[in-house]
Amino acid sequence: MALLEVVDLHVGYRVFEGYLKVLNGVNFEIEEQERVGLVGETGCGKTTLVKTILRVLPVPPARIQRGQVLYHGKDILLMSPREVRGLRRREMTAIFQDPLQALNPMFTIGTQLRDILKDSQERVGRGQRTQRAITARCISALRDTGMPDPERIMSNYPIQLSGGMRQRVCIAEALSRNVRLLLADEPTTNLDVTIQDQILRKLDQLVDQRGASVLIITHSMGVVRDLTQRLYIMYAGSMVETGRTKGVLASPLHPYTQGLMRSVPRLTGQGISDGIPGRIPNYLQPPSGCRFHPRCAHAMPVCVEAPPPFYPAGDNHRVACYLYRS
């Protein structure tokens, strides 16, 4: 059984103009101790997916139409608020793009980090439970992220820190939780390029030491190549390709992935104009069938009829495209 399995997930947002159909039948899974990468253009629904999994999506305006998010086979979407709190304390956590969302402006960094460590007491030995030991662990967690002067940071409030420093606090928080699954949603976006690589490697090392699984959402193919075993490519609300990272990068099969690979430097910019015309669709009235069909040079009549399922393409490689129907 997979550690996490998302099945046919449909999620949208009610907005003034109507209903945005964002997640359109997402299927994906993460195994125990697996490192999975997720790559997709801006606006394709990556953060919506992570927030749905963690049950932190604002409902409304969001609406979970249907689907399952199975953690060890149990549907998170059907759990009671108490069960969800327990899950977030002990089993899974996320590092989000926007660190201010995750930090409480009313408490110092030290107070927030100490609370988290006290919360995961079971895994801390009795001798380590003193206040001084907990503080030392917080400082060490901050230092692990490359935070300068962590002793001083402990007495600061989030507002006193720069975006990059807040991001490091969030990373330290997440790593202090000792969870089994870490969802890292572009965790180094607010950091200097020079420090990004260093932090991601540290994160990878710590996840490895703890035997955890990790989902890394990133725009960097270098990060994906170096730090993940398996890769998902997402387009306009659904997964379009997955396989071993090396295999997908070496021979992308979905026309969207092929375009993405040709336009790597532009991933964070305005669409993937290099090789693929057009932009991600308007979610108020998304294209029928394969949502990529208006941009696809290979589109066939069947492509507008129904979304393609995943077709196997060898060596754990699967692709949601009618070109690979056998």
Ligand X SMILES: Nc1ncnc2c1ncn2[C@@H]1O[C@H](COP(=O)(O)OP(=O)(O)OP(=O)(O)O)[C@@H](O)[C@H]1O
List interacting residues with ligand X (CB under 6 A): 13, 15, 20, 22, 40, 42-48, 58, 61, 97, 283
Q: Is residue 255 within 8 Å of residue 292, measured between CB atoms?
A: yes
Q: Which is nearer to ligand SF4, 164 or 308 (CB)?
A: 308
Q: Which is nearer to ligand SF4, 250 or 297 (CB)?
A: 297
Q: Which is nearer to ligand X, 93 or 189 (CB)?
A: 189
Task: Please tell me the distance from the alpha carbon of residue 167 to that of residue 248, in angstroms, as a whole number.
Answer: 30
* 85 touches ligand SF4 by CB under 6 A: no
* 233 touches ligand SF4 by CB under 6 A: no
Which partner in Mg ion, ligand SF4, ligand X, none is near 61 (CB below 5 to 8 A by kind)? ligand X
Tell me how far, at minimum, the Cβ of 46 lies from Mg ion, in Å.
Answer: 5
Task: Please tell me the distance from the alpha carbon of residue 71 to that of residue 92, in angstroms, as a whole number.
Answer: 10
Out of 298, 305, 309, 316, the only residue in the binding site for ligand SF4 (CB under 6 A) is 298
Q: Which is nearer to ligand X, 61 or 275 (CB)?
A: 61
Which partner in Mg ion, ligand SF4, ligand X, none is near 322 (CB below 5 to 8 A by kind)? ligand SF4
What DSSP element (H or E) covers 143? helix 131-144
Other Cβ atoms within 10 Å of 126 Cβ, number: 7
Tell me how far, at minimum, the Cβ of 268 lies from ligand SF4, in Å.
Answer: 23
Other Cβ atoms within 10 Å of 176 Cβ, number: 23
From 152-160, 211-219, 262-270, 295-303, span contacting ligand SF4 (CB under 6 A): 295-303
Q: Which is nearer to Mg ion, 47 or 93 (CB)?
A: 47
Instruction: Please enumerate in sequence order all residues whose Cβ is within 8 A of that of 248, keeping only pairs 6 or more positions apart, or say none.
Output: 231, 233, 241, 242, 257, 317
Tell me how far, at minimum, the Cβ of 190 lies from ligand X, in Å.
Answer: 13
Residue type, 186: E
Characterize the bridge pairing of strands 4-15 and 213-217. unpaired
Which partner in ligand SF4, Mg ion, ligand X, none is near 45 (CB below 5 to 8 A by kind)? ligand X
* 303 touches ligand SF4 by CB under 6 A: yes
Identify the residue whose tokens are 């009235």. Answer: 285
Q: Which of 180, 210, 193 is nearest to 71 (CA)?
A: 180
Tell me how far, at minimum, the Cβ of 140 lies from ligand X, in Å.
Answer: 31
Which partner in ligand X, ligand SF4, Mg ion, none is near 20 (CB below 5 to 8 A by kind)? ligand X
Q: Which of 163, 18, 171 is nearest to 93 (CA)?
A: 171
Identify the residue whose tokens are 């020079």. Answer: 194
Dihedral, CA of residue 256, residue 261, residue 267 and residue 270, to nearest 10: -60
Task: Please tell me the distance from the alpha carbon of residue 227 to that of residue 196, in angstroms, as a whole number.
Answer: 13
Q: Which residues of this protein are in contact with ligand SF4, per CB under 6 A?
A: 254-255, 290, 292-293, 296, 298-300, 303, 308, 321-323
